[in-house]
Amino acid sequence: MKTLQFRQAIAEAMSEEMRNDESIYLMGEEVAEYNGAYKASKGMLDEFGPERVIDTPISELGFSGIGVGSTLVGNRPIIEFMTFNFALVGIDQIISNAAKIRQMSGGQFNCPIVFRGPTGSAGQLGATHSQAFESWFANCPGLKVVVPSNPADAKGLLKSSIRDNDPVIFMESEQMYGDKGEVPEGEYTIPLGVADIRREGTDVTIVSFGKIIKEADKAADELAKEGISCEIIDLRTVKPMDYEAILNSVKKTNRLVILEEAWPFGNVATEITFHVQKNAFDYLDAPIQKINTADTPAPYSPVLLAEWLPNHEDVINAVKKVLYK
């Protein structure tokens, strides 16, 4: 094992895949000369040159469309958005073209493309730069949605995403790029659609993904001091989702709390809740609790932002609620 920052794991995954396949290229704002807005492509321009690491104008619709079109002639692009908030400018290319090319061509064309960049809030960035769209993209047939929470998963999942023959939405976090973690030496991948049981427990299941899962870790540590054993499942992939891992855990613990940084209406937690009540209702000893942001745009005020975001105290309260404590 070696220790890498999250941004280094992302760069390693892209570089390793680009060395093995000349049809792969990286394109986006500041990915080349500036080494990436978050230094997640550091050194790649020097190694692969300007034809495969391509700086673009501030034109998400334009370079998203170029990327999608290039898949039709044999390329496998990685499109970086400085933030997925800006992906809304290019979302027509993602939803109307990338997600539908395979079906609309009668299977004649695949669209092997990765759209990657940070999602969710990252401090005081205001309402328009603090949005989480995992459930939006997961709602669209034809797209896969990946949200890693640590450097090792980021590298393994990104390599699998790049190799996938369908479009993948790969969502990171500005607040995770500096996170350090152990990453396996040598070649490895992590399959899409397989969750990680990052902490085993017996009293309650906590399901989460992305950077907000750290709040579940903090809560589990505090609850352990009170003799409460939490099992934490990191989805890693929102779509396809590992329902089996969730159901098996709920059948063991009989209680479920879902933690997600997203608006509360119609989100990933809602979908999980439906599947669990449909397939494991008789195993539940308490109603499912889901923890989300407030149902408002993200505030700029640090005091209000702290109230808006879910935190470990919210998780502790939800766990105690399902345990009737």
pLDDT, position 308: 97
Average pLDDT over residues 153-165: 98
Is the Cβ–Cβ distance between 25 and 54 less than 8 Å?
Answer: yes
- pTM for this entry: 0.97
DSSP state of 167: -
Is the Cβ–Cβ distance between 204 and 228 less than 8 Å?
Answer: yes
Among 129, 134, 215, 231, the active-site one is: 129
Q: Is 60 a catalytic residue?
A: yes
- Answer positive or negative: Cα dihedral of 120, 121, 125, 131: positive
Alpha-carbon distances, residue 202 vs 35, 212, 317 (angstroms)? 45, 22, 18
- pLDDT single digits (tens) 274-301: 999 999 999 999 999 999 999 999 999 9
Among 12, 17, 29, 60, the active-site one is: 60
The Cα 225–Cα 154 span in angstroms is 31
In the structure, what pLDDT confidence band is assigned to residue 256 with cuts at 50, 70 and 90?
Answer: very high
* SS3 per-residue string spanning 259-277: ECCCCCCCCHHHHHHHHHH
Q: How many residues does the chain have?
A: 325
Question: Which of 168, 207, 172 has the alpha carbon at shortest distance from 191?
Answer: 168
% of the chain exceeding 90 in pLDDT: 100
% of the chain exceeding 70 in pLDDT: 100
- pLDDT single digits (tens) 46-78: 999 999 999 999 999 999 999 999 999 999 999
In the structure, what pLDDT confidence band is assigned to residue 88 with cuts at 50, 70 and 90?
Answer: very high
102, two tokens = 């395979």
**Percentages of the chain per state (helix, strand, coil), in multiples of 5:** 40, 20, 40
pLDDT, position 291: 98
pLDDT, position 4: 98
In the structure, what pLDDT confidence band is assigned to residue 7 with cuts at 50, 70 and 90?
Answer: very high
The Cα 58–Cα 112 span in angstroms is 23
In the structure, what pLDDT confidence band is assigned to residue 244 with cuts at 50, 70 and 90?
Answer: very high
pLDDT, position 77: 98
Computed over every residue of the chain, the mean pLDDT equals 97
pLDDT, position 146: 98
- Encode 195-233: b = buried (16+ Cβ within 10 Å), e = exposed: bbebbebebbbbbbbbbbbbbbbebbebbeeeebebbbb
pLDDT, position 247: 98
Collect all residues with Cβ–Cβ distance below 8 Å to 31 and sequence separation of at least 6.
37, 41, 44, 45, 53, 54, 55, 80
Main-chain phi, psi angles of 18, to 5 degrees: -70, -30
